[in-house]
Chain A
Amino acid sequence: MQHLPILPILIPMLAGVLMLLPPIGNSINRHRFFSVSVMIGLVIASALLLLTSHQQGTQMYVLGGWQPPFGIVLVADRLSTMMVLLTSVLSLGALLYACAGDDNDGMYFHPLFMFLVMGVNGAFLTGDIFNLFVFFEVLLIASYALLIHGGGKQKTKANVHYVILNLVGSSIFLFALGILYGTIGSLNIADMAVKVRLLDEPGQALVKAGGLLLLVVFGLKAAMLPLHFWLPRTYAAASAPVAALFAIMTKVGIYSILRVHTVIFGEDAGALASIAVPWLWPLALLTLVIGAIGVLASPSLRLTVANLVIVSVGTLLVAIAMHRESATSAALYYMIHTTLVTGALFLLADLVSKQRGKAEDRYVIARKMKRGKIIGIAFFIAALIVVGMPPLSGFVGKVLILQSAQGLDEIAWVWPIVLLAGLASLIAISRAGTTIFWRYTEDSNIDIPIAPLRVIAIVLLLSASPLLVIFGGPVTDYTNMAATQLHDTTQSVDALIPGGSE
């Protein structure tokens, strides 16, 4: 049990390596069986880790025995374990869907998938920002290869943009790390939070530059407004299970903003307290607006879903910009909901495009789908969830975010923009549904069966939404406690550093 915090990184890494070797590496069926069983094991391990860190407090895993602030640490608190469990569940769904045939379009789908999961889990669990960079690179290089999986002109084109942007992002990340290390003298998040209070005047200016550079980098990963142009085409070009898994990658950016700008540059940081907030407000609201416009303007279902990801990123950034516990808690609830549902929607869009022949998922009149009913019902439920209709989880999440805006001056901006973005998504998604399911020329004579595994994967991801509502009490209790743990320096900083803030 002592080694539980490192398991979410070790399990996918070892599984990925093993799958490259014979005898598992020889056949796709062995790959499938092995990776699904590993992923179920990973879900169990993450659930156990969440329970342990919930009951026994923050788990620290000190690699090599070097006590912090020296050496490498993994920190499993309520927020990071929640994100790890979310990753495992989402990737189980995406993996099940891929096992129905999408993984056979190219080589090494399963090992790359495992390395991506390892990178994401590592980014959530790490306790210092240099290792955050390293895990970012691990997940990015796996995602570059996964994005191009299956090949084709569209994928290459999207991948060139994606890779170049992320490489420039990595350079900026390292510049920011250099500035922060040069002035603060530490890269451990908890230790930086302590040392940032003791800086002198010129040091503060440098650290402010470094902190805002980090915001740019995380904004690029999260698709924040001026840096979001890569997202729709990249996600629309990726194959369905990969796009579904990518739904967690924007959340890695959101998580890093939350971690760095509430723990290091939180309320206690003196002159550097909340340096990101004045920037986050306009950018978050404009991200919502541009996402809503994108949703209305998209010509195909996949692009609509990709733009819905931007809307959800905007909503989450608004909640982070509020910079208070209740808003963070609401954001965490919304994050669970939106990640799983957009994942399911990417999978559904792929089912639709497989059924419609040449029309794919574009909003044009085509032949009637033979298997339209079951897809239609799933799409209807998913649409209700994603636009935030009561009684499902999207509604609860949005209400929580709107409620936590009470008492702020910015409420006059938050309420109308969040609600109008919801309306835009509602209009766009109902137009999508009517065109795809109700407008057709003639009955199709080609019957393309749907693999049961695909339906199981989508049901698995969609069932999270009613569960989030039924168990709304315990879930919001948990997110409240996670938000308190993040905002409270005695829990998020002093507990991790021997000697504390003296």
Chain B
Amino acid sequence: MEAVYAFCVGALTTCGFFLVLRGRTFTVVMGLTLLSYAVNLFLFASGRLTLDGAAVLGQSTVYSDPLPQALVLTAIVIGFAMTAFVVILAMRSRADQGNDHVDGTVPPPPPRATGSYRRNS
């Protein structure tokens, strides 16, 4: 279970960081969402993974650490609020700037390697 869990958190983080580094606000927002999922899973695992472990005393013989669950709860709430804000901000930016690039201007496409030179001149 640990290996699968670790792989999932790692994959989510990698994809999140890749998407955050893109130029358009939509992909960046997607990336931030993936990152916050990865963070929540990671925080949850910081109290060690247990099967059938209750976080309340007297409910079972195996206990899981209750504190990470409280932390994850807080982090989820904050993460949702921030994602909502960044979505609204992206829409506002799209309206103000006329495009959805994070820099406010779309950079010119890179020149083609061959062929296009002769036609332009």
Q: Do A and B bind each other?
A: yes
Query: Which residues of the other chain, B, contact A157 by a CB distance below 8 angstroms?
Result: 93, 96-97, 103-104
Query: A55-63, A75-83, A166-174, A286-294: which one contacts chain B?
Result: A166-174
Contact A182 B46 (CB under 8 A): yes
Closest 6 CB pairs of A and B: A182-B46, A178-B46, A157-B104, A174-B39, A156-B96, A171-B35
Query: Which residues of the other chain, B, contact A161 by a CB distance below 8 angstroms?
Result: 102
Q: Given contacts A130-B71, A160-B93, are A137 and B82 in contact (CB under 8 A)?
A: yes
A408 touches B (CB below 8 Å): no
Q: Quick one: which of B28, B35, B45, B92 contacts A178, CB cutoff 8 A?
A: B45
Contact B47 A181 (CB under 8 A): yes
Contact B43 A163 (CB under 8 A): no
A144 touches B (CB below 8 Å): yes
Contact B93 A179 (CB under 8 A): no
Contact A163 B86 (CB under 8 A): yes
Contact A160 B90 (CB under 8 A): yes
Query: B51-59, B73-81, B107-115: which one contacts chain A?
Result: B73-81
Q: Quick one: which of B32, B39, B74 contacts A134, CB cutoff 8 A?
A: B74
- Bound-state CA distance A160–B104 (Å) is 9
Q: Quick one: which of B36, B67, B92, B96 contacts A171, CB cutoff 8 A?
A: B36
Looking at chain A's contact residues, the main secondary structure is helix
- Bound-state CA distance A22–B45 (Å) is 45
Contact A164 B86 (CB under 8 A): yes
Q: Given contacts A144-B85, A144-B89, are A164 and B46 in contact (CB under 8 A)?
A: no
Number of interface residues of B (CB under 8 A): 34
A373 touches B (CB below 8 Å): no
A141 touches B (CB below 8 Å): yes
Number of residue pairs across A and B with beta carbons under 8 Å? 87
- Bound-state CA distance A175–B81 (Å) is 19
Residue of A nearest to B86 (CB): A163
Q: How far is the CB of A430 from chain B (nearest CB, A)?
A: 33
B63 touches A (CB below 8 Å): no
B26 touches A (CB below 8 Å): no
Contact B32 A167 (CB under 8 A): yes
Q: How far is the CB of A152 from chain B (nearest CB, A)?
A: 8
Contact A179 B46 (CB under 8 A): yes
21 example contacts (A-B, Cβ-Cβ < 8 A) are as follows: A130-B74, A134-B74, A134-B78, A137-B78, A141-B82, A153-B104, A156-B93, A157-B93, A157-B103, A159-B93, A160-B93, A163-B85, A167-B82, A171-B16, A174-B39, A174-B43, A174-B75, A177-B71, A181-B68, A182-B46, A187-B67
Looking at chain B's contact residues, the main secondary structure is helix
Q: How far is the CB of A145 from chain B (nearest CB, A)?
A: 8
| Per-residue contact bits, chain B 29-42, to A (CB 8 Å; 1 contact, 0 not) | 00010011011001
- Bound-state CA distance A130–B78 (Å) is 12
Q: Given contacts A134-B78, A164-B32, A167-B32, are A156 and B42 in contact (CB under 8 A)?
A: no
Known: A164-B86, A168-B35. 6 other contacts (CB 8 A): A157-B97, A161-B102, A170-B82, A174-B39, A175-B39, A181-B68
- Bound-state CA distance A481–B108 (Å) is 58
Query: Which residues of the other chain, B, contact A153 by a CB distance below 8 angstroms?
Result: 96-97, 104
| Per-residue contact bits, chain B 1-44, to A (CB 8 Å; 1 contact, 0 not) | 00000000000000010001000010010001001101100110
Residue of B nearest to A159 (CB): B89
- Bound-state CA distance A390–B90 (Å) is 48
Residue of A nearest to B33 (CB): A167
Query: Which residues of the other chain, B, contact A152 by a CB distance below 8 angstroms?
Result: 96
Q: Quick one: which of B16, B75, B92 contacts A156, CB cutoff 8 A?
A: B92
Residue of A nearest to B25 (CB): A160
Query: Which residues of the other chain, B, contact A171 by a CB distance below 8 angstroms?
Result: 16, 32, 35-36, 38-39
- Bound-state CA distance A182–B43 (Å) is 9
Within 8 A of B (CB), among A187-217: 187
Query: Which residues of the other chain, B, contact A159 by a CB distance below 8 angstroms?
Result: 89, 93
- Bound-state CA distance A134–B20 (Å) is 23
Residue of A nearest to B35 (CB): A171
Q: How far is the CB of A381 from chain B (nearest CB, A)?
A: 37
- Bound-state CA distance A137–B85 (Å) is 12
- Bound-state CA distance A181–B16 (Å) is 23
Q: How far is the CB of A203 from chain B (nearest CB, A)?
A: 13
Contact B78 A160 (CB under 8 A): no
- Bound-state CA distance A164–B68 (Å) is 26
Query: Which residues of the other chain, B, contact A163 by a CB distance below 8 angstroms?
Result: 85-86, 89
Q: How far is the CB of B10 from chain A (nearest CB, A)?
A: 12
- Bound-state CA distance A35–B42 (Å) is 41
Q: How far is the CB of A133 from chain B (nearest CB, A)?
A: 8
- Bound-state CA distance A167–B17 (Å) is 12
Query: Which residues of the other chain, B, contact A177 by a CB distance below 8 angstroms?
Result: 43, 46, 71
Residue of A nearest to B44 (CB): A178
Residue of A nearest to B98 (CB): A153
Query: Which residues of the other chain, A, contact B103 by a CB distance below 8 angstroms?
Result: 157
